[in-house]
Amino acid sequence: MALSPLFGDINPTAQKQLTTGSYIDFTSGAGNDFSQQYLPEIYEAEVERYGNRTLAGFLQMVGAEMPMTSDQVVWSEQNRLHISYDACTIATNSDATVTIQDSDSSVTSSKPHAIRVKSLVVILDPATSTEQKAIVSAVTDTDIEAHPFGSTTWAANLVSATALKVFVYGSEFGKGTAGMSDSVEPSFTQFSNSPIIIKDKYGINGSDTAQIGWVEVATEDGTSGYLWYLKAESETRLRFQDYLEMAMVESELATETTGISAGSEGAKGTEGLFAAIESRGNVFSAFTASLTDFDNILKNLDGQGAIEENMLFLDRATNLAFDDMLAGLSNGTNGGTAYGLFENSEEMALNLGFTGFRRGSYDFYKTDWKYLNDASTRGADSNFSSGEVDAIDGVLIPAGTSTVYDQILGTNIRRPFLHVRYRASEADDRRLKTWITGSVGGAFTDDTDEMNVHFLSERCLCVQGANNFVLLKA
């Protein structure tokens, strides 16, 4: 029997199904809303539209983290073994005087330069490849008196040049003469860096913690499940961990304490990776990932530490350009296969997470660096329509360790070329410190009706042997 409905003509059915007489019509009555007859369909799970959003992991791959107790970390690096000077000049083609302009910090002597009487030297102009060999007959604080072999005058190109290079290749003494008049002592170059304090905080008031709304998430740290208000705390923690690495990569020293500089805000800064390479390393501008450009890098590495194994961390465009270059090499016409490190097996190279290749006497492993691709960081300047990319295309980092003299321990130690030092003592470890304040969530430190989760770290980056690093720029 049909019921007498409250709204229109309704014929209920025994099952949950739509028929012409079993629904309520809200479209005709005043003040009725059709959407009231249904509950909204809510997805509990978040949509991961940006994938894994974290950027950290670069320093874990190439370095290490070690504690320190002081406000400053100091290390010493060896200088070159041989004696050479740049930016030297010759007055006239009949003048034996060669002015030594550039100070060599590799060695020390009683004079500003370390060239001694009876030394054999090569004087050359890199611009024209003109050179002459000579013997030194006298020295002053700024000059040497040198006499070329096989000629009574200097070559015209040497006299007109303003940036001659002079280096010592030996000595020659006559019979029965006295020995070398001065000694040369090796010296070292000292570097230092100081840590900065990095902080962050997540806060929520007590009322909002009682407003439960579960959300199913899969977090970047590998965990998944349902989170309530602590989802925001989890993301704050992940973002802070990214900041720990980003600060070590991007930081610079504040040199001015007035005006609009960072120093006027009491920030001392610290030397990050990019700043260290700009200051003490090698910068390749207008890099195109061509074989010619890459061979120029190899020539520069030959003049530095000549470290056999190196890692390339690249943005997407440069990484693809390297793939194109390696594809050209793999056909055998330009040096053989691109997977020589892995028994010519492409699968072996890819399984290791890097694509390895060898050029000259160097081994290279390359991979994408997400930090250079992410649109919220260094990938922000990417222009996909024109193909232009951010100024920094990648970085070449030597693998292995370096030997340095530790001023605190008073001995030579081996350290990764790239490593982080953080403040720590028996009483307080400031590598990654967290604590909770407030009166919510189990903390009872004050009468504020909220929970605050605090994050703190104090750290700096040590870039040792920066002369072996290369910053690739567009």
Does one domain contain both 131 and 96?
yes
The domain that holds 106 is classified in CATH as 2.40.30
Residue 147 lies in a domain: yes
User: Are both 210 and 265 inside the same structural domain?
Assistant: yes
123 and 176 share one domain: yes
Looking at the structure, tell me whether residues 64 and 107 fall in a common domain. Answer: no
Residue 415 falls inside a structural domain? yes
Selection from 289, 455, 313, 315 nearest residue 377 by Cα: 315
Question: Are 120 and 265 part of one and the same domain?
Answer: no
Q: Which residue type is seen at 455?
A: F
Q: 85 and 182 share a domain?
A: yes
For the chain, the domain total comes to: 2
Domain-located, residue 50: no
Given 166, 186, 206, which residue is the final one in a domain?
A: 186
> pLDDT tens digits for the chain (474 residues)?
444 444 444 455 566 555 555 555 555 555 545 555 555 555 555 566 666 667 777 887 776 788 988 899 988 887 888 888 888 899 888 888 888 865 555 555 556 788 999 999 999 998 898 999 999 999 988 888 999 998 889 999 999 888 899 999 999 999 999 998 888 887 778 889 999 999 999 888 888 776 655 555 555 555 566 555 566 677 788 889 999 999 999 999 998 888 888 888 889 999 999 999 999 999 998 888 888 888 999 988 888 877 888 889 998 888 888 887 777 665 544 444 545 555 555 555 444 345 678 888 888 888 888 888 888 888 875 554 444 444 789 999 988 766 655 555 566 656 678 889 999 988 899 999 999 899 987 788 999 899 888 999 999 999 988 989 999 987
Shared-domain flag, residues 94 and 182: yes
Same domain, 68 and 86: no
Q: Are residues 64 and 198 in the same domain?
A: yes
Same domain, 175 and 199: no
Does a structural domain hold residue 308? no
Residue pair 463/271 in contact by the 8 Å Cβ criterion:
yes
Cβ atoms 161, 131 nearer than 8 A: no
- What is the three-class DSSP state of 165? strand
d(CA 223, CA 124): 63
Instruction: Name the domain boundary from 186, 210, 237.
Output: 186
**Angle (deg, nearest 10), helices 316-329 and 291-302:** 90
Domain that holds residue 250: 58-74+192-270+404-463
User: Both 141 and 125 in a single domain?
Assistant: yes
Q: Are residues 266 and 415 in the same domain?
A: yes
Here the tokens at position 194 are 């100081």
Task: Give the domain-ending residue among 186, 211, 239.
Answer: 186
